[in-house]
Chains A and B, each alone.
Chain A
Amino acid sequence: MAAAADSSGDGGTSSGEKTIVLVSSDNSARFEVREAAALLSQTVRRMIDEAGADASGDGITLPDVDAKTLAKVLEYCNKHAPASSSSSAAEAAPPAEGEEDLERFDREFVRVDMGTLYSLVTAASYLKIEGLLNLTCQTIADMIKGKTPEQIRKTLGITSEFTPEEEDEVRRENAWAF
């Protein structure tokens, strides 16, 4: 668990870089992260813009993201955050790490169970973190490839719930396609 935020206004790292405190949905965890990392989330960025300086003081609560998921998401953000701390440059500056290193990180990052993957993709969508959203959606797409409908259902825990007529259609299509 990250250290509690400095309650006297904007927090800061030892190097003096601006930090932001993000709080998980159940209020159980507070994370202090570099501003550049937090701003990878368009949702956080907008919350700060709209709420003003106050938001950073008490920490920004994210009602849709639990502690475990938020920790994982911030792991991504910290890795992918640009080197520069100034918010205007956050979009333009490249990440601090090298390209290959990031790719390796991403590959390992998504080696998680289906429950975590679900939490990650929905969190990425809610937080509007483009890179993470692309990564998780692509992971799911790649997971689907090569699977039959039954295998897809099994992996994702989905039941088909087709009517008998729909079943007939589906069977006919699959007989033709496979």
Chain B
Amino acid sequence: MLLVTKKFHNKSEFEFMKLFAARNDSFLSADANVELSTDKSGSSARKEPSGPRHASSFTPSPAAMQPTSLEQVQATAEPNPLKTCENLSTNCVMFLSSLGDGMNAYVAYKVSTRTSLPMFRSKVFSVRRRFSDFLGLYEKLSVKQSLHGCIIPPPPEKSVVGMTKVKVGMDDPSSVEFVERRRAALERYLQRVVSHPSLLQDPDVREFLEREDLPRAVNTQALSGAGFLKMINKASDAVNKMTIKMNESDTWFEDKFQEVENEEQQLRKLHVVVDSLVNHRKELCGNTAVFAKSLAMLGNSEDNTALSRALSQLAEVEDKMEQLHQEQAASDFFIFAELLGDYIRLLGAVRGCFDQRMRAWQRWQEAQSTLQKKREAEAKLLWANKPDKLQQAKEEITEWEARVTQYERDFDRIGMTVRKEVLRFEKEKAKDFKSQIIKYLEAMLQSQQRLIKFWEAFLPEAKAIA
């Protein structure tokens, strides 16, 4: 929940934010709560892989696989204790200004969790986190998990411009919008992380949710929006540079990858248009407000009384339309545009896990070729009759045989994980899109209903002109 109490220069931008913040709940999920559960719908659809499970520390125990009650994660922006504000309540936020200069300031977000899972220390708790903490979590997860073919939800992007304005403490309505946008994006990010059954088990995730003082994440420069893309593309480059082309026994991977690429492209196009719509709606909003004032002035100078009154009424209707346009623009942005933005990034992450699979394959192939070389070396030694070197060669061969087996298993396992992940992702995506778009349409519907009321009220006024 975010309610900002700073003064705004531009009334309409403030209204835009206030009314959006007030309707936060309905916009983001059923009740602004992220569900954190290990299983729920997941297990019924998922088939347990028959192969060996990866031996890592976060293998979910059977007990945890039972459907549990819902856990809720809420991200809110929090007041900084260093700076007091008159109306300090749990919903009040102020921008932090530290002892240093303005550029060291940062916004603290309050992450509240409610759970019944036994692995957490308590049932309800909250911590304060800053943006770089979220990036740090992502980095930790990527390093560990991507090797296994998981789709790691990417965090929202860094924005130097946006944050600078906020730090400089500008009473800028657009910086308010920026903070709210970021808060909502971080909440969605966390929600995706905790609704992923494997990621939830990761101790880094638990630490992020629970630990009071989190050590500051460093080197998060790489995780700006551009940095994230760079990472993905680096992996793709590595794949493209592979000399041995993969022989796909199963075209599923190839086809799916193509699908993902196409979809990403389409979503990008759509995003551009939705952005344009947001801007035009904001423009319409401004122009309507200006027109309403002008109409009111005209009404004042009109000397026929009934017409004068009708014109003033019309000016009021236009004023109300401005309000509607503003809400519609907020809806366009926070529901539709952000949804698209999220999925463009997520599809990038999906591509990433396909690339990881390719790398695993590459590793396996390289190990096989190394093994082959070792065997050839052994044969040469046999022929040259050098017994001591021969022993070492045999040991190396054994070592590499084991590695080849391991890498082959890894590759198979990663393939299975990728398949599983992609299917889960597609289900989530379908659910997400449907629910968000329905919300969007419902907001539109409410707009129309109010519009009808405005004009129905005006019509008799117009008819009364004599």
The answer to whether A and B assemble together is no
